[in-house]
Structure 1
Amino acid sequence: MLYKRNEYFRYTFGKPLEAEFRIVVDDGPGRESRPGDCQLIDISPGGAKLFTKFNISGEHGAVRLRIKFTLLEDPIEVSGVIVWRKPYSGGYMYGYDFDEDAMLEQVIVEELKLRRRSEINVEEVKLD
């Protein structure tokens, strides 16, 4: 699988964004794990970097996850696969590649625009 680090932009959160993940089991429809907590470190329309204390490893290839988070207003749910894993600060950092979905990519871009605008407005209020 080709890693898409050269995408046109990647938004890094000042404070990691709380999210929830579930491991998707391929050997049955709708089978997935109980939810686990994670934090999004950065995001792009095609993937994200996340941190969790859980060691998510696949014995038979790529691990599929479903992640739920809210960038600003609307809850977003994405599916995809882990493309890399590194031990980090008492847990693990993961590269997560979203399944291709043009509509979802657009939602993420729009939510990030709104989030950034709200952050700028908060910064301006603090300066006044």
Structure 2
Amino acid sequence: MIYRRNEPYRYVFDNPIYTAYHITKINDQTVQSSKGEGYIIDISSGGVKLETALDIPLHKTIEIFFTFTVGSKELVAKAVFLWKKKHVNVFRYGLRITTEAWDINVKDIVKEYKMTQKADSLS
């Protein structure tokens, strides 16, 4: 399993962000799984760390489609699993974003997240 923790910018969310996902490919074969749910623990320009109760075997190449919302921005992406770690009663996965149009500015997402957290703490 590959652990890639040396990206130039990675942000760990204080309150993980809910995400819904489904598996779209297994070894280049298109599939349509039922919806899975989890939380995004951190984000970088190249990927995310996903936490979910689902134990996904990684002996095959698995691609997922996932969505999440930060403030008023809904983001969608495709990603492939790179690694898996058991964490208490859940699993954590490193995902590499494969969406070509992922021209996401992680710093903008973090700024939106911080503004949302600040607004929530004031209400």
2:34 and 2:120 mapped to 1: Cα distance? 36
Out of 26, 29, 34, the position equivalent to 1:27 is 29
Secondary structure of 2:29's partner? coil
Distance 2:29 2:16 in 1: 33
Q: In proportion to residue count, which structure has more helix?
A: 1
Q: Please show how residues 1-128 of structure 1 align to structure 2 within 5 Å.
A: 4-25=4-25, 26-28=28-30, 31-59=31-59, 61-99=60-98, 101=100, 103-119=101-117
C-alpha distance in 1 between matches for 2:45 and 2:70: 12
CA contact (8 A) 2:3 2:83 kept: no
* Alpha-carbon spacing, 1:6–1:79, altered in 2? closer, same or farther (3 Å): same
String of CA shifts for 1:21-59, please: whole Å, max 9, x gaps.
11113324xx32111111111111210111101011144
Structure 1 residue identity aligned to 2:84: R
Tell which structure's C-alpha radius of gyration is larger: 1
Residue by residue, what CA displacement relative to the aligned partner does 1:96-128 show, whole Å, maximum 9, x if unpaired? 110153x423354423222234445666x59xx
List 4+ stretches of structure 1 deviating above 6 A: none
Inter-CA distance 56–2: structure 2 relative to 1 (3 Å threshold) = closer
Structure 2 gap ranges (5+):
none
Q: SS of the residue aligned with 1:86? A: strand
State percent identity of aligned pairs. 26
Given the superposition, is the C-alpha separation of residues 73 and 108 from structure 1 closer, same or farther in structure 2, using an over 3 Å criterion? farther
Q: CA deviation at 1:66?
A: 1.1
1:73–1:111 Cα contact (<8 Å) kept: no
Computed over aligned residues only, the root mean square deviation of the Cα atoms, in angstroms, reads: 2.4
Question: TM-score of the superposition, structure 1-length normalised?
Answer: 0.78
Q: TM-score, normalised by structure 2?
A: 0.81
Structure 1 unpaired stretches of 5+: none
